């Protein structure tokens, strides 16, 4: 997976969302992270060199000093809405794994320029599929969106608690809108509510 976006949270001033996207697919995986982790990822992505090493730079320098190479990062578990990851390292032909927070593992992956992987079951549970064809169909039928006194999606509040009172059809429309606006944190909340309803219905 590739990092396709790193955006500021619109609802939580100290949080950000890093969005991973499939290289050969349309699924995206938004992960809410803290401001420090977002800074660590952004610094590496922009190839900026701080005056003193950040924590992730220090860790990379340590691994380099002991000839340990980070081969890949695997986001391997999702439990109670929390993502877990592992660093797959190699030293002298021996491969070993290190448990890591997902945000830290992504920050390290950018520094080592190594691939980031996850499993289909995680993408099925927490991924968001952006269908460009649906967007095109919506653009071809503007009259249907403007029926009545106003569009339903304009009347729906995006607050977290109010999602329980929104119909599934409206949630799907809201999901499309938040993806277009690149509000990935809100999209993640809508996705979680849709997944909760699927589990309840099954």
Domains parsed from the chain with CATH numbers? 2-125 (3.10.690.10), 130-201 (no CATH)
27-31, 98-102, 144-148: which range is least confident on average?
144-148
The predicted structure's pLDDT at residue 150? 37
Is the pLDDT reported for residue 156 higher than 50? no
DSSP-derived letter for residue 10 is S
Q: What is the pLDDT of residues 59-105, one digit of tens each?
A: 999 999 999 999 999 999 998 888 999 999 999 999 999 999 999 99
CB count in 10 Å sphere of residue 125: 16
- Burial code of 129-142, b = ≥16 C-beta within 10 A, e = fewer? eeeeeeeeeeeeee
The predicted structure's pLDDT at residue 10? 55
Between residues 54 and 106, the one the model is more confident about: 106
Q: In whole angstroms, what is the distance from residue 174 CA to residue 172 CA? A: 5
Q: What is the pLDDT of residues 2-23, one digit of tens each?
A: 998 887 755 555 678 888 999 8
Is the pLDDT reported for residue 42 higher than 90? no
Enter the pTM of the model: 0.65
């Amino acid at each position: 997976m590739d990092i396709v976006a790193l955006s500021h949270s619109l609802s939580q001033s100290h949080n950000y969302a890093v969005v991973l996207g499939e290289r050969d697919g349309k699924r995206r995986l938004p992960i809410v992270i803290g401001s420090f982790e977002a800074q660590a990822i952004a610094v590496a992505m922009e190839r900026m060199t701080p005056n003193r090493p950040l924590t992730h730079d220090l860790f990379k320098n340590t691994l380099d000093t002991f000839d340990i190479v980070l081969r890949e990062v695997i986001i391997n578990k999702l439990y109670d809405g929390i993502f877990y990851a592992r660093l797959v390292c190699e030293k002298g032909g021996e491969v070993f794994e290190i448990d890591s927070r997902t945000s830290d593992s992504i920050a390290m992956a950018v520094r080592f320029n190594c691939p980031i992987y996850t499993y289909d079951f995680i993408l099925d549970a927490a991924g968001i599929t952006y269908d460009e064809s649906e967007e095109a169909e919506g653009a071809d039928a503007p009259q249907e969106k403007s029926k009545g006194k106003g569009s339903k999606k304009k009347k729906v509040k995006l607050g977290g608690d109010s999602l329980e009172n929104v119909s599934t059809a409206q949630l799907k429309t809201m999901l499309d809108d938040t993806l277009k606006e690149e509000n990935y944190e809100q999209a993640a909340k809508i996705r979680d509510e849709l997944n909760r309803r699927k589990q309840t219905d099954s």
